[in-house]
Each structure stands twice: as structure tokens, then as C-alpha cells.
Chains A and B, each alone.
Chain A
Amino acid sequence: DSGVTQTPKHLITATGQRVTLRCSPRSGDLSVYWYQQSLDQGLQFLIQYYNGEERAKGNILERFSAQQFPDLHSELNLSSLELGDSALYFCASSVEATGWMNTEAFFGQGTRLTVV
């Protein structure tokens, strides 16, 4: 168990709908990262939050957004869903790093999203 909790584990929804995925990081971790895993694209970095603020953006669509709350949990919101959004969505967390450090990112078990 990595200590990162993601809910729900599975989600089935229709095209055009909006869903929210939730992530609780490991205790003490300030950074939360969201990744999308699909068969053809592999693991793609979407967005990172650090202590409530957006820190880095990757290949995140405009239909997707995220936030990190004061208690450090994070939510990924996916709207106007399309069939191609079906994928595994992973959240990872890591501790604060000062200077150069090999800070390991711990991944949750993911949310499998199926858009029908």
C-alpha cells in the first residue's frame, strides 16, 4: 500500500458528462501529480499541485481541470467527456524537496474511467 488513496476505483459514464476523481496524498506529502494511462499513449503527466498551488502542467486538455484543497487532497475534474478519455487516471504524491533530491513519487491504485 503506497499510502495514496484514489476514489472511485471504477467509473462508467456517458459522453458529454462531467466526473470528479479524488486523491488523498500520503500523510505529509505536499505535492500531488495527476497522470493519465492509456494503452496507446502510456503514462502521460497531466498536472502538478504543490501545497494548494498549480506548479506544472503537462498534456492536460482544456476540458480537464484540477485543484488541491487546504487539507492537501486533490480533485481532477473531467468535463464534456469523450470516448477517447477512457483511461486509467493515477494520482501520485511526494514530499517537499529542497535542492536536488531523489524524492520518490508514490502512486495510488488509479481510477479506471470508461466513457460509453
Chain B
Amino acid sequence: QQQVKQSPQSLIVQKGGISIINCAYENTAFDYFPWYQQFPGKGPALLIAIRPDVSEKKEGRFTISFNKSAKQFSLHIMDSQPGDSATYFCAARPTYSGAGSYQLTFGKGTKLSVIP
């Protein structure tokens, strides 16, 4: 059972456009929702994260929108640039369960291509 569903699988956006990636979760115990960016040959790197007590978080060109009632969250990349071309993963973590616990459940990823 996939607990975090991510769409679309791939996305092509013109430079300067808005990239939107959506995720939906099922487990109501999730309480932390990070997005990771992965370039080819590299490990995932944290991009931005949100807690369910806020509906939006913005960092530079990246914004997370969160809808707790719908159990959905999305990543918006404004003014998309070719350097943003990467695979993006949404993830979720259940309620804190002990020292050092950071067990993430990932979506299957979205390959973003930003074309000039």
C-alpha cells in the first residue's frame, strides 16, 4: 500500500513558468512533510518542509501548499529555471516516535525538465 501518492510522474515546463507537483497521503499520523530534490548521481537533498499546522510555506521560489482536510500537499516552483531540472520527491514522517527517529515515506518522484 503506497502511503504517499505523487503526481505527475514527469513534468516539462518552460523557463520562467510555474512547476506544480502534487502529493496525497493516507496516514493521518503523518505530521511532517518535506520535499527532496535529487540530481542525477546524487542523493536526495532537503528542499523545503512543512508542518500540518500551517497551510503554506515559502522559501525563495519554492512554496509548499498544505491542505490538511484533503490530506494533500503540493510544491510550486515559481520562475522555473533549467537548473531546477531534477527529480522531486515528496515525503512524510509519522509522529515523532523516539530519539533520532526520521523514518520517511516517499512518493515515487516527479522528473522535472525545465526547457529554455
Which chain A residues have a beta carbon within 8 Å of chain B's beta carbons? Answer: 2, 4, 30-31, 33, 35, 41-45, 48, 50-51, 55-56, 58, 90, 92, 94-105, 107-110
Chain A residues positioned under 8 Å from B7 (CB to CB): none
The CA of A42 and the CA of B46, in the complex, are separated in Å by 16
Q: B96's closest neighbor in chain A, by CB?
A: A100
Chain B residues positioned under 8 Å from A97 (CB to CB): 96, 99-102
User: Is B89 on the interface with A (CB-CB < 8 A)?
Assistant: yes
Q: Are A55 and B98 in contact (CB under 8 A)?
A: yes
Chain A residues positioned under 8 Å from B97 (CB to CB): 56
Q: Are A56 and B106 in contact (CB under 8 A)?
A: no
Take A55-B98, A104-B46, A110-B43 as given contacts and tell me if A42 and B107 are in contact as well, using a CB distance cutoff of 8 Å: yes
Interface flags, B41-53, vs A, CB<8A=1, else 0: 1111110010100
Interface residues on B, range: 20 to 34
Q: B46's closest neighbor in chain A, by CB?
A: A104
* Number of A-B pairs, beta carbon distance below 8 Å: 82
Chain B nearest CB, measured from A36 CB (Å): 11
4 tightest A-B contacts by CB? A107-B43, A31-B100, A42-B108, A43-B106
Chain A residues positioned under 8 Å from B91 (CB to CB): 43
Q: Are B45 and A98 in contact (CB under 8 A)?
A: no
The CA of A9 and the CA of B39, in the complex, are separated in Å by 15
Q: Are B106 and A42 in contact (CB under 8 A)?
A: yes
B102's partner among A33, A42, A110 (CB-CB below 8 A) is A33
Chain A residues positioned under 8 Å from B89 (CB to CB): 42-43
Chain B residues positioned under 8 Å from A105 (CB to CB): 46, 102, 104
The CA of A96 and the CA of B36, in the complex, are separated in Å by 21
Q: Are B103 and A45 in contact (CB under 8 A)?
A: yes
Chain A residues positioned under 8 Å from B44 (CB to CB): 43, 90, 107
Chain B nearest CB, measured from A38 CB (Å): 10
Q: Are A45 and B43 in contact (CB under 8 A)?
A: no
Q: B32's closest neighbor in chain A, by CB?
A: A102
Q: Are A94 and B102 in contact (CB under 8 A)?
A: yes
